[in-house]
Protein backbone atom coordinates (compact mmCIF):
# COMPACT_ATOMS: atom_id res chain seq x y z
CA UNK A 1 0.00 0.00 0.00
CA UNK A 2 1.29 3.53 -0.79
CA UNK A 3 -0.31 6.47 0.99
CA UNK A 4 -2.59 5.00 3.69
CA UNK A 5 -6.29 5.03 2.86
CA UNK A 6 -7.02 6.96 6.06
CA UNK A 7 -4.71 9.74 4.88
CA UNK A 8 -6.00 9.64 1.30
CA UNK A 9 -9.60 10.00 2.53
CA UNK A 10 -8.74 12.78 5.00
CA UNK A 11 -6.85 14.76 2.36
CA UNK A 12 -9.63 14.22 -0.23
CA UNK A 13 -12.25 15.38 2.28
CA UNK A 14 -10.18 18.47 3.09
CA UNK A 15 -9.72 19.31 -0.61
CA UNK A 16 -13.41 18.85 -1.31
CA UNK A 17 -14.24 21.20 1.55
CA UNK A 18 -11.92 23.87 0.16
CA UNK A 19 -13.58 23.52 -3.24
CA UNK A 20 -17.05 23.83 -1.73
CA UNK A 21 -15.92 26.91 0.20
CA UNK A 22 -14.57 28.24 -3.12
CA UNK A 23 -11.23 29.04 -1.57
CA UNK A 24 -8.79 30.21 -4.21
CA UNK A 25 -5.65 29.53 -2.17
CA UNK A 26 -5.34 26.93 0.54
CA UNK A 27 -2.47 24.93 2.03
CA UNK A 28 -1.98 21.22 1.55
CA UNK A 29 1.20 20.51 3.51
CA UNK A 30 2.61 22.66 6.29
CA UNK A 31 6.39 22.71 6.06
CA UNK A 32 7.35 23.08 9.70
CA UNK A 33 10.95 23.98 10.42
CA UNK A 34 11.29 24.04 14.20
CA UNK A 35 15.03 24.68 13.85
CA UNK A 36 17.69 25.34 11.22
CA UNK A 37 20.48 23.58 13.11
CA UNK A 38 21.70 20.40 11.42
CA UNK A 39 24.30 17.75 12.17
CA UNK A 40 25.30 17.52 8.48
CA UNK A 41 26.43 19.99 5.83
CA UNK A 42 25.05 18.47 2.62
CA UNK A 43 26.55 19.87 -0.56
CA UNK A 44 23.17 20.81 -2.05
CA UNK A 45 21.54 22.29 1.07
CA UNK A 46 20.58 25.95 1.31
CA UNK A 47 18.88 25.83 4.71
CA UNK A 48 21.74 25.88 7.19
CA UNK A 49 23.68 29.03 6.26
CA UNK A 50 22.08 31.20 8.94
CA UNK A 51 23.97 33.14 11.65
CA UNK A 52 24.69 31.29 14.89
CA UNK A 53 21.93 33.04 16.88
CA UNK A 54 19.32 31.85 14.40
CA UNK A 55 20.76 28.33 14.35
CA UNK A 56 20.42 28.35 18.14
CA UNK A 57 16.75 29.37 18.02
CA UNK A 58 14.15 26.57 18.21
CA UNK A 59 10.36 26.77 17.93
CA UNK A 60 8.62 25.59 21.09
CA UNK A 61 6.08 22.73 20.87
CA UNK A 62 3.32 25.28 21.51
CA UNK A 63 4.49 27.43 18.59
CA UNK A 64 4.53 24.35 16.34
CA UNK A 65 0.99 23.32 17.33
CA UNK A 66 -0.24 26.88 16.93
CA UNK A 67 1.26 27.01 13.41
CA UNK A 68 -0.49 23.75 12.49
CA UNK A 69 -3.85 25.03 13.76
CA UNK A 70 -3.43 28.46 12.16
CA UNK A 71 -2.57 26.96 8.79
CA UNK A 72 -5.10 24.13 8.83
CA UNK A 73 -3.28 21.87 6.34
CA UNK A 74 -4.04 18.18 6.87
CA UNK A 75 -0.40 17.17 6.42
CA UNK A 76 2.63 18.47 8.32
CA UNK A 77 6.16 17.86 7.12
CA UNK A 78 8.65 18.48 9.92
CA UNK A 79 11.88 19.54 8.28
CA UNK A 80 14.75 21.81 9.17
CA UNK A 81 17.67 21.57 9.92
CA UNK A 82 17.60 18.17 11.49
CA UNK A 83 14.38 17.85 13.52
CA UNK A 84 15.81 15.12 15.75
CA UNK A 85 18.26 17.67 17.22
CA UNK A 86 15.24 19.46 18.74
CA UNK A 87 15.08 18.40 22.39
CA UNK A 88 11.27 18.33 22.41
CA UNK A 89 10.63 16.74 19.03
CA UNK A 90 8.67 13.89 20.66
CA UNK A 91 6.29 16.41 22.26
CA UNK A 92 5.91 18.31 18.99
CA UNK A 93 5.00 15.07 17.18
CA UNK A 94 2.62 13.94 19.91
CA UNK A 95 0.77 17.26 19.90
CA UNK A 96 0.38 17.18 16.13
CA UNK A 97 -0.95 13.61 16.27
CA UNK A 98 -3.50 14.76 18.88
CA UNK A 99 -4.60 17.35 16.32
CA UNK A 100 -5.00 14.54 13.75
CA UNK A 101 -2.31 15.86 11.44
CA UNK A 102 -0.52 13.42 9.14
CA UNK A 103 3.13 13.94 9.94
CA UNK A 104 6.23 13.32 7.83
CA UNK A 105 9.15 13.53 10.23
CA UNK A 106 12.08 14.24 7.89
CA UNK A 107 15.44 13.10 9.18
CA UNK A 108 18.90 12.01 8.13
CA UNK A 109 18.41 9.21 10.69
CA UNK A 110 21.74 9.80 12.48
CA UNK A 111 19.87 10.30 15.78
CA UNK A 112 16.89 8.08 14.98
CA UNK A 113 18.06 5.27 17.25
CA UNK A 114 17.90 7.62 20.28
CA UNK A 115 14.39 8.83 19.54
CA UNK A 116 12.59 5.63 18.53
CA UNK A 117 11.90 4.62 22.16
CA UNK A 118 10.37 8.07 22.85
CA UNK A 119 8.18 8.30 19.78
CA UNK A 120 5.18 6.02 19.29
CA UNK A 121 4.17 4.30 16.04
CA UNK A 122 0.95 5.81 14.75
CA UNK A 123 -1.04 5.80 11.50
CA UNK A 124 -0.54 9.57 11.59
CA UNK A 125 3.27 9.39 11.75
CA UNK A 126 5.66 8.58 8.91
CA UNK A 127 9.39 8.76 9.46
CA UNK A 128 10.86 10.11 6.23
CA UNK A 129 14.54 9.32 5.85
CA UNK A 130 16.80 11.31 3.56
CA UNK A 131 18.43 8.94 1.02
CA UNK A 132 20.24 10.44 -1.96
CA UNK A 133 21.84 7.26 -3.29
CA UNK A 134 23.52 4.02 -2.37
CA UNK A 135 26.43 4.11 0.08
CA UNK A 136 29.07 5.98 -1.95
CA UNK A 137 26.66 8.44 -3.57
CA UNK A 138 24.73 9.20 -0.38
CA UNK A 139 27.81 9.73 1.78
CA UNK A 140 29.23 12.04 -0.89
CA UNK A 141 25.97 14.06 -1.04
CA UNK A 142 25.89 14.51 2.75
CA UNK A 143 29.67 14.99 2.87
CA UNK A 144 30.29 12.40 5.59
CA UNK A 145 31.21 8.73 5.53
CA UNK A 146 29.05 6.24 7.39
CA UNK A 147 25.76 8.18 7.17
CA UNK A 148 24.25 5.74 4.65
CA UNK A 149 24.89 2.78 6.96
CA UNK A 150 23.36 4.67 9.91
CA UNK A 151 20.30 5.55 7.85
CA UNK A 152 19.85 1.94 6.73
CA UNK A 153 20.19 0.70 10.33
CA UNK A 154 17.70 3.36 11.48
CA UNK A 155 15.15 2.36 8.82
CA UNK A 156 15.46 -1.33 9.69
CA UNK A 157 14.98 -0.64 13.39
CA UNK A 158 12.04 1.70 12.83
CA UNK A 159 10.34 -0.88 10.60
CA UNK A 160 10.92 -3.60 13.21
CA UNK A 161 9.23 -1.44 15.81
CA UNK A 162 6.16 -0.88 13.66
CA UNK A 163 6.77 2.64 12.36
CA UNK A 164 5.72 3.69 8.89
CA UNK A 165 8.90 4.65 7.06
CA UNK A 166 9.34 6.48 3.78
CA UNK A 167 12.38 7.92 2.09
CA UNK A 168 13.08 11.23 0.41
CA UNK A 169 15.56 11.28 -2.46
CA UNK A 170 16.97 14.39 -4.07
CA UNK A 171 18.25 13.91 -7.61
CA UNK A 172 21.40 15.87 -8.54
CA UNK A 173 23.43 16.02 -11.73
CA UNK A 174 25.70 13.19 -10.63
CA UNK A 175 22.78 10.86 -9.80
CA UNK A 176 22.92 8.23 -12.53
CA UNK A 177 19.53 6.80 -13.53
CA UNK A 178 20.91 3.28 -13.13
CA UNK A 179 22.07 3.98 -9.61
CA UNK A 180 18.78 5.64 -8.75
CA UNK A 181 17.04 2.48 -9.96
CA UNK A 182 19.34 0.35 -7.82
CA UNK A 183 18.60 2.59 -4.83
CA UNK A 184 14.82 2.32 -5.30
CA UNK A 185 15.08 -1.46 -5.68
CA UNK A 186 17.14 -1.63 -2.48
CA UNK A 187 14.69 0.58 -0.56
CA UNK A 188 11.67 -1.41 -1.72
CA UNK A 189 13.06 -4.97 -1.67
CA UNK A 190 15.66 -4.95 1.10
CA UNK A 191 14.35 -2.30 3.48
CA UNK A 192 10.67 -2.69 2.60
CA UNK A 193 9.94 1.01 3.06
CA UNK A 194 6.29 2.02 2.87
CA UNK A 195 6.88 4.57 0.12
CA UNK A 196 9.40 6.86 -1.50
CA UNK A 197 9.49 10.51 -2.44
CA UNK A 198 11.74 11.91 -5.12
CA UNK A 199 12.51 15.42 -6.23
CA UNK A 200 15.13 17.25 -8.26
CA UNK A 201 17.48 19.41 -6.19
CA UNK A 202 16.72 23.13 -6.06
CA UNK A 203 19.64 25.38 -7.01
CA UNK A 204 19.91 27.23 -3.71
CA UNK A 205 22.27 30.20 -4.24
CA UNK A 206 23.74 29.52 -0.77
CA UNK A 207 24.38 25.80 -1.28
CA UNK A 208 28.06 24.89 -0.70
CA UNK A 209 28.43 23.18 -4.10
CA UNK A 210 26.69 24.96 -6.97
CA UNK A 211 27.84 22.45 -9.56
CA UNK A 212 25.55 19.65 -8.37
CA UNK A 213 22.27 21.05 -9.66
CA UNK A 214 20.47 19.98 -12.81
CA UNK A 215 18.97 22.44 -15.29
CA UNK A 216 15.32 21.88 -16.20
CA UNK A 217 15.83 20.03 -19.52
CA UNK A 218 18.41 17.78 -17.81
CA UNK A 219 15.96 17.11 -14.97
CA UNK A 220 13.30 16.01 -17.42
CA UNK A 221 15.73 13.74 -19.30
CA UNK A 222 17.03 12.25 -16.03
CA UNK A 223 13.57 11.50 -14.64
CA UNK A 224 12.42 10.04 -17.97
CA UNK A 225 15.39 7.73 -17.83
CA UNK A 226 14.83 6.78 -14.16
CA UNK A 227 11.10 6.14 -14.53
CA UNK A 228 11.47 4.25 -17.82
CA UNK A 229 13.12 1.42 -15.89
CA UNK A 230 11.39 -1.98 -16.15
CA UNK A 231 11.58 -2.09 -12.32
CA UNK A 232 9.33 0.97 -12.14
CA UNK A 233 6.20 -1.11 -11.42
CA UNK A 234 7.67 -2.32 -8.15
CA UNK A 235 8.39 1.16 -6.82
CA UNK A 236 5.88 2.78 -4.47
CA UNK A 237 6.00 6.57 -4.63
CA UNK A 238 4.18 8.91 -2.29
CA UNK A 239 3.37 11.11 -5.27
CA UNK A 240 0.42 11.59 -7.58
CA UNK A 241 0.81 10.11 -11.10
CA UNK A 242 0.39 13.67 -12.41
CA UNK A 243 3.50 14.83 -10.55
CA UNK A 244 5.53 11.92 -11.92
CA UNK A 245 4.28 12.81 -15.43
CA UNK A 246 5.39 16.39 -14.83
CA UNK A 247 8.89 15.30 -13.81
CA UNK A 248 9.18 13.44 -17.13
CA UNK A 249 8.05 16.48 -19.16
CA UNK A 250 4.78 14.80 -20.14
CA UNK A 251 2.69 17.43 -18.48
CA UNK A 252 2.89 21.24 -18.17
CA UNK A 253 2.34 22.64 -14.70
CA UNK A 254 2.84 25.91 -12.83
CA UNK A 255 4.02 26.05 -9.22
CA UNK A 256 1.50 26.35 -6.38
CA UNK A 257 3.78 28.12 -3.91
CA UNK A 258 1.07 28.55 -1.26
CA UNK A 259 0.30 24.82 -1.28
CA UNK A 260 3.23 24.07 1.04
CA UNK A 261 3.56 27.11 3.32
CA UNK A 262 6.65 27.20 5.52
CA UNK A 263 6.73 28.14 9.21
CA UNK A 264 10.26 28.48 10.51
CA UNK A 265 11.90 30.10 13.52
CA UNK A 266 11.83 33.36 11.54
CA UNK A 267 8.06 33.33 10.85
CA UNK A 268 5.95 32.37 7.82
CA UNK A 269 8.42 32.25 4.97
CA UNK A 270 7.59 34.15 1.80
CA UNK A 271 7.10 33.08 -0.97
CA UNK A 272 7.85 29.36 -0.62
CA UNK A 273 9.80 26.61 1.09
CA UNK A 274 12.85 27.18 -1.11
CA UNK A 275 13.02 30.98 -1.38
CA UNK A 276 13.09 33.30 1.63
CA UNK A 277 12.37 36.83 0.50
CA UNK A 278 10.67 37.93 3.71
CA UNK A 279 8.61 36.60 6.62
CA UNK A 280 4.97 37.17 7.54
CA UNK A 281 3.83 37.29 11.15
CA UNK A 282 0.72 35.20 10.56
CA UNK A 283 -0.49 32.63 8.05
CA UNK A 284 -3.34 34.92 6.99
CA UNK A 285 -0.86 37.72 6.31
CA UNK A 286 1.24 35.30 4.23
CA UNK A 287 -1.70 34.19 2.10
CA UNK A 288 -3.35 37.59 1.70
CA UNK A 289 -0.40 39.93 1.32
CA UNK A 290 1.98 37.92 -0.82
CA UNK A 291 2.04 38.90 -4.48
CA UNK A 292 1.77 35.26 -5.62
CA UNK A 293 1.52 36.16 -9.30
CA UNK A 294 5.17 37.25 -9.22
CA UNK A 295 6.46 33.75 -8.56
CA UNK A 296 6.66 30.59 -10.61
CA UNK A 297 8.27 29.17 -13.72
CA UNK A 298 8.77 31.93 -16.28
CA UNK A 299 7.87 34.65 -13.80
CA UNK A 300 10.89 34.67 -11.51
CA UNK A 301 14.40 33.71 -12.63
CA UNK A 302 14.94 31.81 -9.36
CA UNK A 303 12.13 29.42 -10.33
CA UNK A 304 13.66 28.52 -13.71
CA UNK A 305 15.23 25.26 -12.60
CA UNK A 306 12.77 24.32 -9.88
CA UNK A 307 10.62 21.20 -10.30
CA UNK A 308 10.53 20.38 -6.59
CA UNK A 309 7.58 18.54 -5.05
CA UNK A 310 7.07 21.31 -2.48
CA UNK A 311 5.93 23.57 -5.33
CA UNK A 312 4.40 21.22 -7.86
CA UNK A 313 2.82 18.36 -5.91
CA UNK A 314 0.04 20.71 -4.76
CA UNK A 315 -0.60 21.62 -8.42
CA UNK A 316 -0.64 17.92 -9.27
CA UNK A 317 -3.16 17.22 -6.51
CA UNK A 318 -5.36 20.03 -7.85
CA UNK A 319 -5.15 18.58 -11.38
CA UNK A 320 -5.98 15.13 -10.00
CA UNK A 321 -9.05 16.48 -8.23
CA UNK A 322 -10.18 18.31 -11.36
CA UNK A 323 -10.08 15.26 -13.64
CA UNK A 324 -12.11 12.09 -12.95
CA UNK A 325 -9.66 10.10 -15.06
CA UNK A 326 -6.67 11.32 -13.06
CA UNK A 327 -8.64 10.69 -9.88
CA UNK A 328 -9.11 7.04 -10.84
CA UNK A 329 -5.45 6.78 -11.83
CA UNK A 330 -4.35 8.20 -8.47
CA UNK A 331 -6.79 5.93 -6.59
CA UNK A 332 -5.40 2.89 -8.39
CA UNK A 333 -1.90 4.09 -7.58
CA UNK A 334 -2.85 4.44 -3.91
CA UNK A 335 -4.50 1.03 -3.79
CA UNK A 336 -1.60 -0.58 -5.60
CA UNK A 337 0.91 1.69 -3.96
CA UNK A 338 2.56 2.49 -7.25
CA UNK A 339 1.66 5.90 -8.57
CA UNK A 340 2.19 5.81 -12.30
CA UNK A 341 4.54 6.98 -14.96
Binding region for other proteins (CB under 8 A) = 216-217, 220, 249, 251-254, 291, 293-294, 296-299, 304, 315
Q: Collect all residues with Cβ–Cβ distance below 8 Å to 308 and sequence separation of at least 6.
A: 199, 200, 202, 273, 274
Query: In the complex with other proteins, which residue's Cβ is closer, 220 or 286?
Result: 220
Query: In the complex with other proteins, which residue's Cβ is closer, 72 or 217?
Result: 217
Query: In the complex with other proteins, which residue's Cβ is closer, 119 or 316?
Result: 316
Rounded least distance, CB 235 to other proteins, Å: 24
Buried b (16+ CB within 10 A) or exposed e, 127-160: bbbbbbbbbebbbbbbebeebbebbbebbeebbe
Rounded least distance, CB 274 to other proteins, Å: 16
Rounded least distance, CB 253 to other proteins, Å: 6
The DSSP bridge pattern shows strands 267-271 and 262-264 to be: antiparallel
316 contacts 253 by C-beta, under 8 angstroms:
yes
Query: In the complex with other proteins, which residue's Cβ is closer, 81 or 296?
Result: 296
Chain centre distance of CA 338:
18
169, burial (CB in 10 Å: exposed 0-12, middle 13-18, buried 19+): buried
Query: In the complex with other proteins, which residue's Cβ is closer, 64 or 275?
Result: 275
Rounded least distance, CB 81 to other proteins, Å: 31
Rounded least distance, CB 297 to other proteins, Å: 5
Query: In the complex with other proteins, which residue's Cβ is closer, 269 or 290?
Result: 290
Q: Collect all residues with Cβ–Cβ distance below 8 Å to 285 and sequence separation of at least 6.
A: 268
122 contacts 97 by C-beta, under 8 angstroms:
yes
Rounded least distance, CB 100 to other proteins, Å: 31
For the beta sheet containing 125-130, the strands, ordered from the edge strand earlier in sequence to the opposite edge, are 195-200, 164-171, 125-130, 102-107, 75-78, 29-32, 262-264, 267-271, 276-280
Q: Collect all residues with Cβ–Cβ distance below 8 Å to 75 and sequence separation of at least 6.
A: 7, 11, 28, 29, 30, 101, 102, 103, 104
Rounded least distance, CB 218 to other proteins, Å: 12
Query: In the complex with other proteins, which residue's Cβ is closer, 208 or 249?
Result: 249
Amino acid sequence: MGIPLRQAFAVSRYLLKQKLLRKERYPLVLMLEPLYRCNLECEGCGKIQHPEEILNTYLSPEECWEAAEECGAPVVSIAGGEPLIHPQIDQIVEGLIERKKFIYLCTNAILLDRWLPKLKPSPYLTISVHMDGLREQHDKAVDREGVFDKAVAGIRKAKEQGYRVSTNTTVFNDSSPTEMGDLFNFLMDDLNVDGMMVSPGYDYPKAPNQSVFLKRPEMIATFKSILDSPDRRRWRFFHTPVFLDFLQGKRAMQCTAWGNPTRSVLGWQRPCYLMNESYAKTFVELIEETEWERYGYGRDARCTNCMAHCGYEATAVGATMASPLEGVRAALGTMGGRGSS
